[in-house]
Chain A
Amino acid sequence: MQNYTVFVPRLAPATENFAPGHRACIGCGEALAVRLACKAIGDNVIVANATGCMEIVASQVPYTSWRVPWIHTLFENTAAVASGIEAGLKAMIRKGQIPDRETKVVAIAGDGGTVDIGLQALSGAMERGHDFLYLCFDNEAYMNTGIQRSSATPFGASTTTSPAGKVSMGQFSWKKDMPAIAAAHNIPYVATANPSYPFDLMEKVEKGLMTKGPAYVHIYSVCPTGWRCPGDLTIRIGRLATETGIFPLYEVEDGQYKLNYDPPKLQPITSYMKLQGRFRHLPPEIIDKIQQTIIEKYQELKEKVAASTGVAGG
C-alpha cells in the first residue's frame, strides 16, 4: 500500500454521490466508508442495498442520500436482487431495448445481511458468476436494531444478546471469516478494506468494479455507538485494527493472496481493546487467549501469501 499524505486527497474525486445530511451517528465509520466507496464507484451504477444501518440512515422517506439509482432489498436477498439487475441489464442490451452504457451493479449490505441472513443468496450469486461487486460493511453486530450479536461479532465482545455479566463473558464464538468464505468460491477478486486507509479502500472498490465476474470487498466499519467508544477515535481504532493484526488488509486475485499492509511489528491487541467499552469486562487471561488466536490467524494468512508469491515466482 502506498503511503499517500497531504496532497493526494485533493486529487480524489470531488463528486459526492452519497450526500451529507443523513442520520448516521456521530463518528460513524460506515458512513465514511460508503462515502469513499461511492467516490470510487462513480455515477454509472445501480445499487442494491440491504436492510441495515446504511438503508435506515440514508433513505428516510421522503429524503435520500443516494444520488445514484438505488433499490432497497431485504436482508436475505441483496445478492439475488443484484444478480437479477445484472441479468436483466444483459438481456435488455442483447435484445436492443437499451444501449450498452456499461452500467455496473453494486450490492451493499452490513455484516448481518452478509454473513448471517444473506449468505445463501450471496453464495449462489458468486457461484453463478454474475458480474457484480458486493460490498460488506462490517460493524460487527446488528447495530441499528440495538446492538444484537451477529456471527461477525468478535469473541468476547459485549452486545445486548451476548451481554457481559456473571453468566456470560460476552460473545461466545469466534468471528466468521467471511473473506475466506468468498475466496473459497474461487471468484476473481476478494479484498478487505478499511476507511482508515482511504486510498487503499478506493483502489480496491475500483478494482472490484472493473473485475469481470463477481467481486467481494469486506470493509471494516468502526461503530462508536455499538462498540462503546468515543466518536473521534473512529479512524484511530480502524488503524489499530489493522496494526494489531485483528483486521489485516489483503486481497485475493484469482486465488493469489497479497498482503497490502504488513506492519513491521504487530501491536498488542490491548491498545485496540482498551479504547472500546464492549471489551472492558474481559479478564487478562481471556485477552491473552484472543491475542494468541489473532497472532495464529495472522501467521496463517502470511503463509497463504508466501505460498501465493512462491507459485507466482516459480
Chain B
Amino acid sequence: MIKLTIDSRTIEIEEGTTLLEAAKRAGIYIPTLCYHEALTPIGSCRVCIVEVASNGKSGLTAACTYPVEPGLKVITNSEKVSEARRLALELLLAQHPHSVRIQRLAQKLGVNPPPFTLEEKECILCQLCTRTCREIVGASAISFISPGLGRENNEAQIEVSQIKCIACGSCCYACPTQAISMEDSGDTRTICTPSGQMEFKLKRCNNCGRYWAPQKQLEYMAEKSGLELAAFDLCTDCRD
C-alpha cells in the first residue's frame, strides 16, 4: 500500500494505481476526455492535468498516466491546474466547436469559446478508437496517417484500413464525438470515418433471416476461436 495526499487528503492505495484512479476512488473529480477504464491510458487530451509535488519540486502532469508514489503531494484544484486545463480545453474547443462532449466539459469548467476558430473537425485525436481496435478487438485496423517522424502536427488524422477492419463497430461505440459512425441498412453496414466511408456485407441468419453480424467479423471470430464458420450460421436469438 502507498500513502499519498490528494488535495490535502491522505489516501492509501495499492501500488501501480494511477493518480486519476486514486482520485476517482476517493471521490475527487478530475475531468477526462481520452481516458477509458478498459484501455491503456495515453495522456493525449491534457484535460486531466494535476499539480504534483515531491522532493521539493512541483510540476504539472497528466493524472491518467502518472502512477502513485509514496509521500506524493497532489493538487487537483490550484490556479495553475485550472489555467492549464482551461488552455487545453480552449484549444480543443477552437478545433471542435460543435462537439457536444467538449462543449459540456467546457461549460462545466467555465471555459468560454475562444474568439477564433481554427477548423471544424469531429475527431479530437483521443485515440480511443485506435486503442479499442488494438486492445479490445485485436484487429489493429485503425492508426494515425504517417505515424512517426514524418508526421506534421496539423495533418494528424486517423485512418481505417478496409482490409484489416472487421466491421464490428466497437470504435463507433468508443468514439466520444461521433467522428466515427455506423449504420446498418439491409444487407450492408456502412461505417463513416474521418478517412472515408466503408461498406461491409452483413450475414443473414439461416433460421430467422435477420442480418445479424458482419461477414468479416464472423470470419475473424471463427479464426480466433478455432470454430467452423458454419457455427455462426444462426443468429444469437435462434441459437440454443
Chain A residues proximal to chain B, CB less than 8 Å? 2-8, 10-11, 13-14, 101-102, 199, 236, 239, 264
Asked if B163 is at the interface (CB within 8 A of a chain A CB), the reply is: no
Taking a contact as CB atoms under 8 Å apart, the answer to whether B213 and A5 are in contact is yes
Name the one of B168, B169, B237 contacting A236, with C-beta atoms under 8 angstroms. Answer: B237
Which of A6, A7, A10, A199 has the most CB atoms of chain B within a 10 A radius of its CB?
Answer: A7
- Identify which of residues 200-230 in chain B touch chain A, using a CB-to-CB cut-off of 8 Å: 210, 212-213, 217, 221
Total number of A-B contacts with CB less than 8 angstroms?
Answer: 46
CB within 8 Å for A4 and B170 given contacts A10-B38, A101-B29: yes
Q: Which residues of B contact A264 (CB under 8 A)?
A: 210
CB within 8 Å for A3 and B213 given contacts A11-B38, A13-B37, A14-B38: yes
CB distance from B239 to the nearest CB of A (A): 10
Taking a contact as CB atoms under 8 Å apart, the answer to whether A199 and B37 are in contact is no
Asked if B52 is at the interface (CB within 8 A of a chain A CB), the reply is: no
Name the one of A11, A101, A199 contacting B132, with C-beta atoms under 8 angstroms. Answer: A11
Q: How far is the CA of A8 from the CA of B172 in the complex (A)?
A: 10
Q: Which residues of B contact A236 (CB under 8 A)?
A: 237
In this complex, the interface size class of chain B, counting residues with CB under 8 Å from chain A, is 20 to 34
Q: Which residues of A contact B237 (CB under 8 A)?
A: 236, 239
Name the one of A8, A14, A101, A239 contacting B170, with C-beta atoms under 8 angstroms. Answer: A8
* Complex A-B: 11 CB contacts under 8 Å: A2-B169, A2-B184, A3-B169, A3-B213, A6-B217, A6-B221, A7-B132, A8-B169, A8-B170, A10-B136, A14-B37
* The 8 A-B residue pairs with the shortest CB-CB distance in the complex, in nearest-first order: A7-B170, A8-B173, A7-B137, A10-B136, A8-B170, A7-B136, A7-B168, A11-B38
Q: How far is the CA of A7 from the CA of B174 in the complex (A)?
A: 11
Name the residue of chain B whose CB is nearest to the CB of A1. Answer: B184
Asked if B36 is at the interface (CB within 8 A of a chain A CB), the reply is: yes
Taking a contact as CB atoms under 8 Å apart, the answer to whether B38 and A4 are in contact is no
By secondary structure, the B interface counts as: mixed
By secondary structure, the A interface counts as: loop
Name the residue of chain B whose CB is nearest to the CB of A12. Answer: B38
Q: How far is the CA of A6 from the CA of B217 in the complex (A)?
A: 10
Q: Which residues of A contact B168 (CB under 8 A)?
A: 5-8
CB within 8 Å for A199 and B173 given contacts A10-B136, A14-B38: yes
Q: How far is the CA of A14 from the CA of B21 in the complex (A)?
A: 13
Asked if B78 is at the interface (CB within 8 A of a chain A CB), the reply is: no
Q: How far is the CA of A80 from the CA of B170 in the complex (A)?
A: 40
Q: Which residues of A contact B8 (CB under 8 A)?
A: none
Asked if B182 is at the interface (CB within 8 A of a chain A CB), the reply is: yes
Quick one: CB contact mask for B171-212 with A, threshold 8 Å, 1 for yes? 011100000001010000000000000000000000000101
Name the one of B29, B136, B173, B213 contacting A2, with C-beta atoms under 8 angstroms. Answer: B173
Q: Which residues of A contact B137 (CB under 8 A)?
A: 7
Name the residue of chain A whose CB is nearest to the CB of B212. Answer: A3
Asked if B236 is at the interface (CB within 8 A of a chain A CB), the reply is: yes
Q: Which residues of B contact A8 (CB under 8 A)?
A: 168-170, 173
Name the residue of chain B whose CB is nearest to the CB of A10. Answer: B136
Taking a contact as CB atoms under 8 Å apart, the answer to whether B173 and A4 are in contact is yes
Q: How far is the CA of A239 from the CA of B236 in the complex (A)?
A: 11
Q: Which residues of B contact A102 (CB under 8 A)?
A: 108
Q: Which residues of B contact A5 (CB under 8 A)?
A: 168, 213, 217, 236
Name the residue of chain A whose CB is nearest to the CB of B186. Answer: A264
Name the residue of chain B whose CB is nearest to the CB of A203. Answer: B173
Q: How far is the CA of A11 from the CA of B237 in the complex (A)?
A: 22
Q: How far is the CA of A13 from the CA of B29 in the complex (A)?
A: 17
Taking a contact as CB atoms under 8 Å apart, the answer to whether B182 and A2 are in contact is yes
Q: Which residues of B contact A101 (CB under 8 A)?
A: 29
Q: Which residues of B contact A10 (CB under 8 A)?
A: 38, 136
17 new A-B pairs (CB below 8 Å) besides A4-B170, A7-B132, A10-B136?
Answer: A2-B169, A2-B173, A2-B182, A3-B213, A4-B169, A5-B168, A5-B213, A5-B236, A6-B217, A7-B168, A8-B168, A10-B38, A11-B38, A11-B173, A11-B174, A14-B37, A14-B38
